[in-house]
Structures are given as C-alpha cells and as structure tokens.
Structure 1
Amino acid sequence: MRNLLGFLSGLIFGLGLIVSGMANPAKVLNFLDLAGHWDPSLGFVMGGAVVVTFLGYRLAWQQGAPILAPDFDVPTSSRIDRPLILGAALFGLGWGIGGFCPGPAWTALPLLSPGILTFLPMMLLGLWLGAGGRNLPLLISKGVRK
C-alpha cells in the first residue's frame, strides 16, 4: 500500500510539473533572466507550492502519526553548516546553468534531449559521490542519508 501511495504521489507531482511547464528548462532559465525575456510564471508555481505545503503540514501535524508509518521522520538537526551551504550552492548553480532540478529532470527524460541526457546521469553521479559511493538505487528511492 505504501508503494502504491508513493507511486500515486509521484505521478501527481510529475503531472503537475508537466502541466505547469516546469519540465521545460527554458521556463526556469527565463525566470532567472531578469534582464532579458523574464517569465514570472515559475514564481507563481513556487508560491502555490508554498501555500499547499504550508496547509499540508498544518493538517499532517494535527495527526498523531502518519497513516503508514509509526512516527514522522523529522530531521533532528537545524544546524546551518558547511555541507548544507555547499550543497545548496551546488544545487542552485546546477539549476541556474541547466534549468533542471531533480523532479523536472525525471519528467523530461522521455524527451531525450541532449540537455537532459547530460544532466540526469551527472545528477545521479553527484548523488552517488555525495553518499561516499554507496548503493545508488537505494539513494534514488530513499534519498541521501548519512
């Protein structure tokens, strides 16, 4: 049941990315191009996501525990350290240069464009290297954890 709900959540997320145009890296790059052909639509998508996330967390925290888990998996550290800053900077640079972040990269894979065929393997390599060379399929399915 948990896998089915995970699949459905990912499918809805992916469809939302496609419908909003976020699978198109030109849309992202045009949002970042303030001096050129600026496209503010990404800001509206992000704003909508913030509202939905805010409301979703308020509803989730009212529950005693998640439906399919014994408790919420909440980070225990709130430290802002060097790995966090470097990771955020690398993510931002990659996003600004390529126009992709992980979710839209997977939804754009069927297009087989040269950009996505370069970005996606490099993203997976970065995940693997960041985890010290551990099991990549596990990293993709569970997220990077040390």
Structure 2
Amino acid sequence: MFDMPSPTGAWSLRRLASEAGVLPKVARDAAAEGVIDQMVIVESDILLVRLYGALKRHVWPEERRPANKDQGLRLWEQIAIDTVRGATPEELGPATGLFIHQTGARLANGPGEYCTELFRLQDEPFYYAPIGKWFRELPSQRHYSERAAN
C-alpha cells in the first residue's frame, strides 16, 4: 500500500486506533493477525485498521461464528484487506467504495461501477465500505484539503 510521510515514531497503536475510530484492542488484534506491522506503522494503516474493525464484527447470514472464540482472519476478510492494501491513492477517489462479499471484494468508483456491482451482487449478501471517504479523512488528506481550500 502507499505510505504517507510522517515523523519517525509519530504513530502508535493507540493513536492509530484513535484516528481509525476503533478501540485500541482492535488495533492490537489487527497487528497480532498481521493486518498491520506494529513495528512500522504508517498513516495508511488507519484504513486497514478501520476496515478490519468493521469486518471482524460482520457475520454473514447463516454463518456460525462464536463470539467468544477468535478464529483468525476469514478468507474474504483477507481478500478485502489486501484489496485496500494494494490500492494506490490515484484509485481512491472521494466516491470509491469497496463491495465485499463472501468470496471476494472489489473497488468501485462512481455510479457506473456501483450499478455494475449492485447488479452482480443482487442475489447475494454484501458489505459496503466507503474507502474513498475514509481515505479523505486521513490526517494528511485533511490538511491537504484545508490547504487547497485556502
């Protein structure tokens, strides 16, 4: 994934969790499961931790998943995380969304791609994550937007 420049040592799991809007335990779990590298945290990890936190709570219809037993990353979770990890800033426009289903994930930009995904997934459950919106909420993007507005 892309890296946002930041001062050495500026990121901690606690700060990462705070920026992602999740509990610190979610960031620790993401590091433990290999979603992020706790030793080299970069700003873009905010997206991964935020997505990880949302996906870990998600249960598909008819899926049996005991709440008291961690079962590691499910395949579709890994695919979704890898899809976001592999995206470049140029691919993440304000309207970029991630359509996640039980067998994969796909980024969509704009109404045409949204309609295509909705049509393709019409008969199966899916989860939608507003990745482009989340990307624009990164600290460096907020500051960039503020500078561009002035």
Give the TM-score category using the shorter length: under 0.3
TM-score normalised over the length of structure 1: 0.28
- Kindly name which structure, 1 or 2, has the bigger radius of gyration based on alpha carbons: 1
Q: Higher strand share goes to which structure?
A: 2
Structure with more contact order per residue of length (Cα contacts < 8 Å, sep ≥ 6): 1
TM-score normalised over the length of structure 2: 0.27
